[in-house]
A and B are shown apart, each in its own frame.
Chain A
């Protein structure tokens, strides 16, 4: 990086400062000072209200960090963040690479079209994604409709099977039907479900069914109603979110990787192909190493983005239900606005920053190690 030689030293310096100062001052104002403020508050007992001239507050030490590390909500949020990091680094990047490679090598046609379409999620406001998400995963949403339809079909099949041997039911048939019914409903039939079934659900208490079609129709709604219970439990609740995260950002990496692939000398590829290398080999031994630098950079951006992920998850679940999908940034937001605990909230902010750097440092370390192998 050569800089200009001529001109007086003083003029050079003045110019440097003149050009860089606006950016630097703004940067300090928007990033620098808040970070320092965050560190200070995290070590204090500030309670909100006026900072200077209001109620006195003081530095009290690392108490908040101690509280933080003993709070299970913190570890849950951290775990959720790790999930996002994993799906990003090991999902978006490989998938992005594969798609980019396929487009680059023209294994699929209309490359520009695919690139364009795959990038669309990145420009849609997350609020729209949140609404769609709720629509699909809600208790009475699309997914529920699908599962319920499946359950109903199973029950109808069991009913038809039981009526197969004529229109008279027997105990065994009833048992099969009960198995396909909603356990809640079965519970209402009393301690002996078969007897209860005969008593309460058979028209006139008779085992002979006059109108099988009507009977099936009357019974089919006793099928189990699916609830998205997996969304109220830790870990499983993160699955839909991870899926959406994967879908959302992969497109950007497709474009990024594809562009870098274009820079590879096509003669090298041709030579390999002539030598009889398969696509997989070409990808593994030529393209992948050529992109290693970009991959590391992308991984770093990925990690940074994942650790700071807020808007998308907030729009989908607000960290719920019951905080199971909370990530660190939402946890931080919650302790500040609802919990009104500013020192704790800022401690979390500090932790997010430190962890980001740790992960990125690890990545750089990995780069050095892997780079050595070449």
Chain B
């Protein structure tokens, strides 16, 4: 009798826990409910679910820190999701995925016809930390873009700034009107590094130098690098960037810029979406009829820069398939990726200002003026340079992030930060 009870219990437990007949696909996705284009994005996924009744799509949607922490937990528990939205570099949680080659090489898994529709840069395996196509970059992201309020400058008799000196000359005049010259909300600690420092390093030192520091041939403590940090500090000392930015949340930026409280804001190209029209309320931070008052330009020329005109850019994020998938699950995952990278989905992303796709055969006439400026910006700035958190190890760029916050606050010096960075790099080189 007892044995029968135990057996029944076991079967019941198995039944409780085991999955249903459908192929379940665990999709770990990165999106914020308050982002532009969220509703459209969700609608597209609903279409996929409706069109594929044999796939039980379980989406887990997270954003920012929460996303990275959850993915780290999954990796720790040995419970990787099946399809993962990931970064090309060793950024936070994606690091483990690359280092341990936990994902499929998509160039071998995805349909050749599909792959042929993407730019060469997107398909470059060297752009990813695992040196293979662990994810298919949906965009090529420019991290250092200066959004300029052209009209505000013109109203104050100021010309578009082309050099550092131009910026410095604007400060007093703009400040009299309570307008910041350049805004860079760095409360989340990564914007200063991704959007500003990366371009500065590219302008002063170039990619080869960064390769060398990773190989141990040069050091962060060399005066060349310390000089870049000093130049960064000058931006604050000269009043170009106000110290209040250091503790401002990243989410405060668009409002600040759109309300005319800052003449220029340095941000990534993905930020365009924040200014476009919200479909549910019909309101936009920058009304489409005013969007031509604004301009997207490269960061100005810095004094003593060696590589003028470069801009920090990196292969964008994309979806990857976990290497343990086989059979029905793998087919389902491939279907999902084909759908995501298909014309409809990518065009929607373009139109809602999420990113400019690397897929080459898309057209649209639905773009708001600000969105049209992006491809023009890309075309005008083809010389790209590394984004630091794509190529440096987290233990190093996290130190840089913290340092870029403490330098303006007086908590640390350029030399001090450089020393800490080198210490972290040395630890890596020893291994």
Direct contact of A and B (CB under 8 A): yes
Q: What's the minimum C-beta distance from A184 to chain B, rounded to whole angstroms?
A: 5
Interface stretch of the complex, out of A64-72, A112-120, A221-229, A249-257: A221-229
Within B164-206, which residues are at the interface with A (CB < 8 Å)? Answer: 168, 171-172, 175-178, 187, 189
State the Cβ distance, B352 to closest chain A Cβ, in Å. 26
The answer for the CA separation of A184 and B409 in the assembled complex, in Å, is 13
**Per a CB cutoff under 8 Å, which of B78, B177, B244, B252 touches A221?**
B177
Residue of B nearest to A55 (CB): B78
Do B69 and A338 touch across chains, with their CB atoms under 8 A apart? yes
Shortest CB–CB separation between residue A82 and chain B, in angstroms?
23
Interface size (A, Cβ < 8 Å)? 35
- How far apart are the CA atoms of A230 and B32 in the complex, in Å? 31
A42 to B139, CA, bound (A): 43
Contact indicator per residue, chain B 66-106, by CB within 8 Å of chain A (1) or not (0): 00111011011110000000000000100010000000000
Cβ contact within 8 Å between A139 and B78:
no
Q: How far is the CA of A336 from the CA of B189 in the complex (A)?
A: 21
Which A300-352 residues have C-beta < 8 A from chain B? 318, 321-322, 336-338, 340, 342
A187-B237, A188-B172, A222-B176 given; A138·B247 CB < 8 A: yes
> In the bound complex, do residue B247 and residue A227 qualify as a contact, i.e. CB atoms below 8 Å apart?
yes
The answer to whether A49 touches B76, judged by C-beta atoms less than 8 angstroms apart, is: yes
Mask for B242-259, Cβ within 8 A of A = 1, else 0?
111111110010001000
Asked whether A221 lies within 8 Å of B178 as measured between CB atoms, the reply is yes
Give B227-248 as 1s and 0s: 1 = Cβ < 8 Å from A's Cβ atoms: 0000000000111001111111
Instruction: Report the Cα distance A14→B213, complex, angstroms.
Output: 72
**B160 on interface, CB distance cutoff 8 Å:** no
A337 proximity list for chain B (CB < 8 A): 68-70, 72-73
**Are A139 and B248 within 8 A (Cβ)?**
yes
Query: In the bound complex, how far is the Cα of B176 from the Cα of A200, in angstroms?
Result: 12
Is the C-beta of A134 less than 8 angstroms from some C-beta in chain B? Answer: yes
Rounded to whole Å, the gap between the CB of B106 and the closest CB of chain A is 24
Which A residues touch B171, using CB under 8 A?
A: 185, 188
Option from B189, B238, B246, B248 in Cβ contact (under 8 Å) with A140 = B248
Q: Who on chain B is nearest to A225 by CB? A: B244
Interchain CB contact under 8 A, A54 and B78: yes
Q: Which residue of B lies closest to A226 (CB)?
A: B244
Interface string of A288-305 (1 = CB under 8 A from B): 000000000000000000
Contact with B along A118-143 (1 / 0, CB 8 A): 00000000000000001000111000
Please tell me if the beta carbons of A185 and B247 are within 8 angstroms of each other in the complex.
no
A49 contacts B78, C-beta separation under 8 Å: yes
For A50, list chain B residues within 8 Å (CB): 78
Would you list which residues of chain A between 45 and 70 have a CB under 8 Å from chain B? 48-50, 54
Partner of A184, one of B65, B178, B243, B246: B243
B78 close to A227 (CB less than 8 A)? no
Interfacial chain B residues near A49, Cβ < 8 Å: 75-78
- Asked if B411 lies at the interface with its beta carbon under 8 angstroms from chain A, I say yes
Q: Is B402 an interface residue when CB atoms closer than 8 A count as contact?
A: yes
A221 with B405: CB separation less than 8 A: no
**In the complex, are the beta carbons of A140 and B256 less than 8 A apart?**
yes
B24 at the interface (CB under 8 A from A): no
Contact of B244 among A139, A201, A222 (CB under 8 A): A139
Give the residue among A218, A226, A318, A322 with the most B Cβ atoms within 10 A.
Answer: A322
Known A-B contacts A139-B244, A228-B247; A321 and B187 likewise in contact (beta carbons under 8 Å): yes
- Assess the B247–A184 pair: CB atoms within 8 A: no
Determine the chain B residues whose CB is within 8 A of the CB of A219 once the complex forms. 176
Which B residues are CB-close (under 8 A) to A367?
none
Contact status B246-A227, CB under 8 Å: yes
Query: Chain A residues with Cβ under 8 A from B70's Cβ?
Result: 337
Q: Mind listing 30 A-B residue pairs with CB under 8 Å?
A: A49-B77, A134-B249, A138-B248, A139-B252, A140-B244, A144-B244, A182-B175, A185-B175, A185-B239, A187-B238, A187-B239, A200-B172, A219-B176, A221-B175, A221-B178, A225-B242, A227-B243, A227-B246, A227-B247, A228-B247, A229-B247, A229-B409, A232-B247, A232-B405, A232-B409, A321-B247, A322-B405, A322-B406, A338-B68, A340-B96
Q: A221-B177, A337-B69 are in contact. List 15 more A-B contacts (CB 8 A).
A: A48-B75, A48-B78, A49-B78, A139-B244, A140-B248, A140-B252, A144-B244, A187-B239, A229-B247, A231-B247, A321-B189, A321-B247, A322-B189, A338-B69, A342-B76
Residues of B within 8 A of A (CB): 65, 68-70, 72-73, 75-78, 92, 96, 168, 171-172, 175-178, 187, 189, 237-239, 242-249, 252, 256, 402, 405-406, 409, 411
